[in-house]
Structure 1
Amino acid sequence: MAKIDREKITEIKQSVNIVDVISQYVALSKTGKNYLGLCPFHGEKTPSFNVNADKQFFHCFGCGKSGDVIKFIEEYKQVSFIDSVKEVADYAGIKLDIDDAPQKENPNQALFEIHTQASRVYHMILTSTELGQEAKKYLYDRGIDDEIINRFGIGLAPDEPNVLYKSLANKFEEKVLSESGLFTFTENNIYDSFQNRIMFPLMNEYGQVIAFSGRIWQENQINRKEAKYKNSTTTPIFNKSYELYNLNIAKPLINKSKEVYLMEGFMDVIAAYRVGITNVVATMGTSLTENHVSKLSRLAKSFVLLYDGDKAGQNATYKSLNLLRGKQVQIVTVPDRLDPDEYEKQYPGALKNLMTQGRISEVEFLIDYLKPDNLTSLQEQTNFLDQMIPLIANVASLTAQDAYIKKLSETVKDFDYQSIENQVNRLRPNNKISVQDDWGYQPPADEDFFSPVQVEQNFNYDDFANPAIKLSALERTEQYLLQRLISNPYLLKDIMDDEKFAFKHKKYQNLFEAILLQYMALDNIDEIQLVHSLSDDLSNLWYQIKSLNLPDELAKEEMRDLLNSFEKQINILKLEDLKERLDSARKVGNKEKEIELTLEIINQKRLLD
């Protein structure tokens, strides 16, 4: 694989004007200091794609994509980083002396190869043996035909102790055999890890077989209460907390549609494939993880959760929502407590309609999921409202808010529509500044930069879960802090000494930690190295922070004022939370809690004096 050193990349970037390059692909018009056009990465009628000529990067306020000139070519033409660098270098007239020396063979190549051969053996047994015909009948009865068997490489492990080992033992070294996870080694014998199971090859996103999942298929196995699925153990090439079933097939469509369905099982994915929906993946015997979300976020902007309709499936949906916070999420609930595969069998042709027309919002799901069992308890009703009202207040559409309030008032009988609406109104975002004010949609000149004092005078202090466009005073201050740290890395030394310091919002804390780690390693910030090590979301955030229209010169005592403002806003949030808890205590008549919270409020107010 070709290599280009960072100094050469910097030279290439500095030799071109990003406006000139992007103008070849996007019609741009000058707006103030920047250039504006229709975003090439998502459909839009109103221009939201901005190019900053001074700082040499682009940012779209519609879809959030950001980056430098190399990133633009990489995303626009869907080419590799190296090919993008080559193209920009050609444009700049710079000749590249690229190291095309062949790389060392992947140290895990033998593990990939043994899994490929194992997959062929299992597939051959299913398609070409008498036992395989019995297993195929089982699959046919479940709606899996020969086309699907071949498309997904489905196979069969026979009910014999070491058929696979005998087939592969002479082709691979003992170390590879033992590390593959395909065999069980005892003191006297070596056995196949999978026996008498329908075999589903598990592939990475590049289509390489990395593991297997085996499913029971005979009645006696069910009677013996064997586990329905058995998955490969963790190996150097397989970690179930990172891999996703069907991503190799689904990836092109996910990348094109920017949407992905998340399911629980292999059979559910295949059921979706049968009805013509292919941008579907499933976790492999584990819950959704941050690694899964990070991998999918590079491809998709929208996530549709389609888990089993039983209680366990709904619990899994709730847990996944926490991991997907801040993402565009919809939920499909399968009726009758069925899983998607069972639903399609019971109601042929209905799954596709359910997947496309049966989606509900996160708030709709949570109203049903979090609804207390005992709706006669005033305390449980109050706790339920305390969870739902902030979520409803954060919904952008007033029409949707109205519908959610109505549904809540119908669910919680002791609180009418008006009382719930009053609580929602109290928490609605007010007087927020749009991030677009730094891109040509600017406020009056004397308000270009809000000092901490101005921030406190012009903002409310609510903390919102999805402030992608409108920002609270606290979040704006966090952005200012990060911008100053990026522009003046020496300030990181002071922050590092404060072990208690942390950003309130997770995304800013994650970016801060990445910056801090590089600064500790290099005693500086290497933008090229840092940006290309970040996830797409954090890379976009980096450029968004850099775009803030702050004075180049750091004003005297500015950092102290920003940190003081940050601390004050945190304390205000704590005070508001205490007040809400006091209101709840009063409603249920908990006098002891009222006294306790009143004392806490008095102490918290002292911190703000």
Structure 2
Amino acid sequence: MDLITNRGDIFREVRSRVNIIDIASRLQINLTKQGSDLIGECPVGHASKSKKSFHIVTSQREPYFHCFSCGLGGDAIRLVSITKRISDLEAAKWLIDEFKLKIDISQHRNYPKPTPEEIRLKAELISRSIFLEKIVEIGRQKLYEEEGKEALQYLVKDRGYDEDALKRTEWFYLPTLASIKEDVVTQYPEMKDTMGKSKLLGYFGDHFRLAFPYRSAEGLITGFLKRATDPKGISLKTFDKKEHDNVRWDSTPGLKKDDLFGLDKINVSADTIIVVEGYPDAIYLQALGMKNIAAVGQGKLGKKHLDGLRNRKVKNIIVAFDNDDVGPGNTQEAVKLILENSNISPYVIDPIKYGDKHKDPDEYLKANGLDALRDIFNKEPEHGVIWIVKGLLRNIVGDNPLEKKKAKDEIIELLAKVSDESVIEEVRLEISSIADETKAAFLKLVKSKRKVDTEASVRQLTEQPIVPFLDMNSNTRCYYNRMEDKLNLGVEENFIEEVMLNYDLFAPKKYPAFKVEFNPTDLKEKFDIKNKCFNLFTPTEYMYLIKTSEKIEFSTACPRTFELLKNLIPEDNERVHFINWLSYIFTTRKKARTSWVFKGAPGSGKNLFFDHLIKPLFGSNQTMVVDDDRLQSDFNGFMMNKLFVAFNEVANDETKSKRSVKSKIKALITDNKIIINEKHVKIYEIDNFANILFFSNEEIPILIEEGDRRFNVVQTGDRLKDVNSFKVNPEIFIKSLEDELPKFAQFLLNYNCDEYVVDEVIENNAKQQIKELSMNRFELFAYKLKAKNWKWFDENYPKAGDNFFGKDNRKGLMTKSELLSGKILREKVLNSYNVINDGWTSITKLTRQFKLCGVLVERKKHNNSPDEYFYKW
């Protein structure tokens, strides 16, 4: 596992080729040596009283750093990241360029980023590890001084350790808690707060003067295992007033054992690992030169242990447990666990190989020497399945047919977990006395018992870097590339096999089947094995944040983000409405049935907002900016698997063309499902999760009708370069947006979002202008009639008063009182329409168009004169 998170081979490759001390030098970080650490001032630039709060630990295979003042910590790449204020990927690129590394970063385009919570927890673990490291350093020195005499005597005389070899181990004298506080704080005052948070006393209290650290696979100390210096243990009374006798072991609270003990000392390229039971056995054997030894403690191998070994691409595990009452049983359980949860081949050192007088490798070593133990480990391993089968055969009493059948059934069930046919054949020959099938018949029998689609076997497959499966939508083979976060559909089986071989993997004999879907509401694993679904959605690091009760003041917590949004949406009430809308989408990852139109001059920050806020928050592959041509096109594949789509520079002077996409836009905004039409592909339906934005500099970016409930329209501010904070240094402004993203994400998450307001739209002047410009002449005139907007008519009529010939300019036109009455003689309305529009329209056409707009004709009959016709609304 990587130091921050498993981010792919590119980071591991870069770290393996550069020295963190050289990196610190290139970054001009001034450091001095103190103990095993390099210390100095934090490169972030904050104040530090001691001027030595920043530590680089170089004693482990994976060097790391931590600042005890600001709390930042991580690996060599993150050191570059925080110093230069760039992303981890950019930091990797910088190291490649700076140190002229021959690494093609283009082959590693996507990688799982650590979440802010993961980064915080890792920093805390690093801080605690460095503190515990100092206790180990002090204790290792004291072990060989007067203070540690009793502890040393136990190791040398009682356990029989060679003192020179012992000095290569991490056994150390554990001072009392009071002494630790005094020693560590005196030498490292910057660690005082960390020490206060670190609990060192376990259940049995401060009675143990000997210990060794338990490290994660990356070398971080997760806690101490403590040993009494009396071989028989000690008698004591615990805080709960209970008395205990012969207590030999204790540990620090919070000790994590997710990785095999000693795994950090084993070369990452080792393909075979020997696993013993006792931690002391692993410590001492490693010191004697057996570098591929690890331990489980208490004889229990776990699934989490296997996770760490799979990440290292370990091919073989040799189980070498103790020769005691539980050793053989634990060995058998370990073999089955390995078969069920990995592709690793299990081998076994039969515990009886240590002899009747020795229960573990340590005792055998003392009696027979290192070379004899090496011989056992080198010559005696046999495949775990063969070892179990031999044990089952030995347990058959006499010629009992029931016991033979029971043993055979158990063996067949075991072999169903084995893919190596040579092992299956070896077992067949071994059990010929109870199984008389031919090679082909026996193999067929084994295969009939296999449950290819069991959850364990499928999960094992889905955890690989290349995951082949059948897509139930298209009924074709495909594979998912974890490194690129990319699904490749419709791929030939031979090609998949070739791809997998490049990763040292083998294609399964039967592909599991999954239904491919895009479901942003599900933040769990890509593969839902139970429901047979593969989720194309990839959560961003910010989506894993947890809502808190913290009240975040947007303008002070994220000043640059606030300034950008303020320039985009100058009106306070409109900005609040937008934040509520964005908070709903970010929190629920659902579709809002309203959209936003940003209308304004170029350079106001529309694209900056999308590229540096929307994309990182919702995922670059799940957001897209498309041009107006894509909106006009019949092909809409760009809507696939998107949370946000922004239509950029939307405009068209052709009214006919605008109206042709009007219904299309409505569907994109409000429909839960849409039809996808791609070239050379049969049309199909998908769930529509896309939230829609429009960016435009035009007066009429889209057509908006009266009564619309889909569009919020804002008139953006001036060019962003006129904003002081941006004008001073645009690069720093943009970098600040990236730095503020975690806080902005937390602000959106904590925001008291009103879900009902999300479906409401703002009515303002900007929207009203577009609505009016969207109308034709008849629609606009009818709209003003129905609104009884005398001001509009007054402004568009001829000037009030007499003309050159002394006649009233507005004679025969509709008056204010008539407008307000809501009922006007048809001829007067026609005259008014023709005057305002500088043209001539027939009464028939006007009536037909008005009817479409809800302005109807009312007839008034007269007995002695012609009937009158009125427009009424």
TM-score, normalised to structure 2, is: 0.37
Q: 1:465 maps to which residue?
A: none
SS, match of residue 314 in structure 1: helix
Q: Which whole-Å deviations, capped at 9, do the CAs of 1:109-137 have from their partners, x for residues lacking one?
A: 553343123223422331111x5334324
Instruction: Show the 5 A alignment for 1:341-360.
Output: 341-348=362-369, 349-360=371-382
Could you tell me how far apart the structure 2 residues matched to 1:81 and 1:370 are?
54
Find 2:271's aligned residue among 251, 258, 263: 258
Asked if 1 retains the 8 angstrom alpha-carbon contact of 2:151 and 2:173, the reply is yes
Is 1:339 matched up with 2:356? no
Find 1:126's aligned residue among 136, 143, 159: 143
Could you tell me how far apart the structure 1 residues matched to 2:201 and 2:194 are?
10
Letter in 2 for 1:283: V
Letter in 2 for 1:342: E
Letter in 2 for 1:183: L
Is 1:182 matched up with 2:204? no
Asked if 1 retains the 8 angstrom alpha-carbon contact of 2:226 and 2:251, the reply is yes
Q: 1:214 maps to which residue?
A: 226
Could you tell me how far apart the structure 2 residues matched to 1:321 and 1:403 are?
17
Q: 1:310 maps to which residue?
A: 324
Asked if 2 retains the 8 angstrom alpha-carbon contact of 1:372 and 1:380, the reply is no
Asked if 1 retains the 8 angstrom alpha-carbon contact of 2:129 and 2:220, the reply is yes
Q: 1:279 maps to which residue?
A: 292
Instruction: Show the 5 A alignment for 1:44-63.
Output: none
Letter in 2 for 1:315: G
Letter in 2 for 1:210: T
Q: Which whole-Å deviations, capped at 9, do the CAs of 1:185-240 have from their partners, x for residues lacking one?
A: 9xxxxxx9442443112233444433211223325537985233322221xxx422
Compare the two structures and name the one with the higher strand fraction: 2
Question: How many aligned residue pairs are there?
Answer: 388
Q: 1:55 maps to which residue?
A: none
Instruction: Show the 5 A alignment for 1:136-285.
Output: 136-141=152-157, 142-157=159-174, 162-165=178-181, 167-168=183-184, 176-177=194-195, 179-183=197-201, 193-219=205-231, 221=233, 226-234=246-254, 238-240=255-257, 242-250=258-266, 253=267, 255-283=268-296
Q: Which whole-Å deviations, capped at 9, do the CAs of 1:407-457 have from their partners, x for residues lacking one?
A: 2245xxxx3534898444433489x9xx9xxx9xxxxxxxx9689xxxxxx
SS, match of residue 211 in structure 2: strand
Q: Select the structure of larger CA radius of gyration.
A: 2
Could you tell me how far apart the structure 2 residues matched to 1:207 and 1:328 are?
23
Find 2:424's aligned residue among 401, 404, 409: 401
Is 1:426 matched up with 2:445? yes
Query: Offset of 1:166 from its aligned partner?
Result: 5.1
Q: 1:383 maps to which residue?
A: 406
Could you tell me how far apart the structure 2 residues matched to 1:164 and 1:154 are?
16
Letter in 1 for 2:322: D
Query: Taking structure 1 as reference, are residues 207 and 399 closer, same or farther at Cα in structure 2, changes over 3 Å only?
Result: closer
Q: 1:537 maps to which residue?
A: none
Q: 2:675 maps to which residue?
A: none
Letter in 2 for 1:182: L
Find 2:133's aligned residue among 93, 104, 116: 116
Could you tell me how far apart the structure 1 residues matched to 2:105 and 2:528 are?
42
Q: Which whole-Å deviations, capped at 9, do the CAs of 1:511-556 have from their partners, x for residues lacking one?
A: x577578499767996989xxxxxxxxxxxxxxxxxxxxxx98889
Asked if 2 retains the 8 angstrom alpha-carbon contact of 1:125 and 1:155, the reply is yes
Could you tell me how far apart the structure 2 residues matched to 1:316 and 1:516 are?
41
Letter in 1 for 2:380: G
Query: Taking structure 1 as reference, are residues 351 and 391 closer, same or farther at Cα in structure 2, changes over 3 Å only?
Result: same
Q: 1:33 maps to which residue?
A: none
Asked if 1 retains the 8 angstrom alpha-carbon contact of 2:528 and 2:534, the reply is no
TM-score, normalised to structure 1, is: 0.51
Percent of counterpart pairs with the same letter?
16
Query: Taking structure 1 as reference, are residues 361 and 523 closer, same or farther at Cα in structure 2, changes over 3 Å only?
Result: farther
Which structure would you say has the larger RCO, counting Cα contacts within 8 Å and 6 or more residues apart?
1
Q: 2:781 maps to which residue?
A: none
What stretches of structure 1 of length at least 5 have no aligned partner?
13-73, 75-79, 97-102, 186-191, 440-447, 452-467, 530-551, 560-609
Query: Taking structure 1 as reference, are residues 470 and 287 closer, same or farther at Cα in structure 2, changes over 3 Å only?
Result: same
SS, match of residue 233 in structure 2: helix
What stretches of structure 2 of length at least 5 have no aligned partner?
11-76, 78-87, 110-118, 236-243, 453-460, 467-474, 479-504, 544-587, 592-617, 623-678, 687-873
Letter in 2 for 1:320: A
Could you tell me how far apart the structure 1 residues matched to 2:366 and 2:140 are?
25
Query: Offset of 1:259 from its aligned partner?
Result: 2.7
SS, match of residue 144 in structure 2: helix
Q: 1:319 maps to which residue?
A: 333
Query: Taking structure 1 as reference, are residues 194 and 298 closer, same or farther at Cα in structure 2, changes over 3 Å only?
Result: farther
Could you tell me how far apart the structure 2 residues matched to 1:332 and 1:514 are?
43
SS, match of residue 315 in structure 1: helix
Query: Taking structure 1 as reference, are residues 183 and 425 closer, same or farther at Cα in structure 2, changes over 3 Å only?
Result: closer
Could you tell me how far apart the structure 2 residues matched to 1:203 and 1:395 are?
32
Query: Offset of 1:366 from its aligned partner?
Result: 2.2
Instruction: Show the 5 A alignment for 1:442-521.
Output: 469=506, 471-472=508-509, 475-476=510-511, 478-479=512-513, 481=514, 485=516, 489-490=517-518, 503=529, 518=539
SS, match of residue 431 in structure 2: helix
Query: Offset of 1:256 from its aligned partner?
Result: 1.9
Letter in 2 for 1:338: K
Q: Which whole-Å deviations, capped at 9, do the CAs of 1:471-492 have from their partners, x for residues lacking one?
A: 44xx32x24x35xx1xxx34x6
Could you tell me how far apart the structure 2 residues matched to 1:221 and 1:364 are?
39
Instruction: Show the 5 A alignment for 1:60-75.
Output: none
Compare the two structures and name the one with the higher helix fraction: 1
Query: Offset of 1:296 from its aligned partner?
Result: 2.3
Letter in 2 for 1:231: S
Could you tell me how far apart the structure 2 residues matched to 1:331 and 1:119 are?
34
Could you tell me how far apart the structure 2 residues matched to 1:281 and 1:553 are?
56
Could you tell me how far apart the structure 2 residues matched to 1:523 and 1:361 are?
52
SS, match of residue 309 in structure 1: coil
Could you tell me how far apart the structure 2 residues matched to 1:162 and 1:172 are?
18
SS, match of residue 326 in structure 2: helix
SS, match of residue 397 in structure 2: coil
SS, match of residue 301 in structure 1: coil
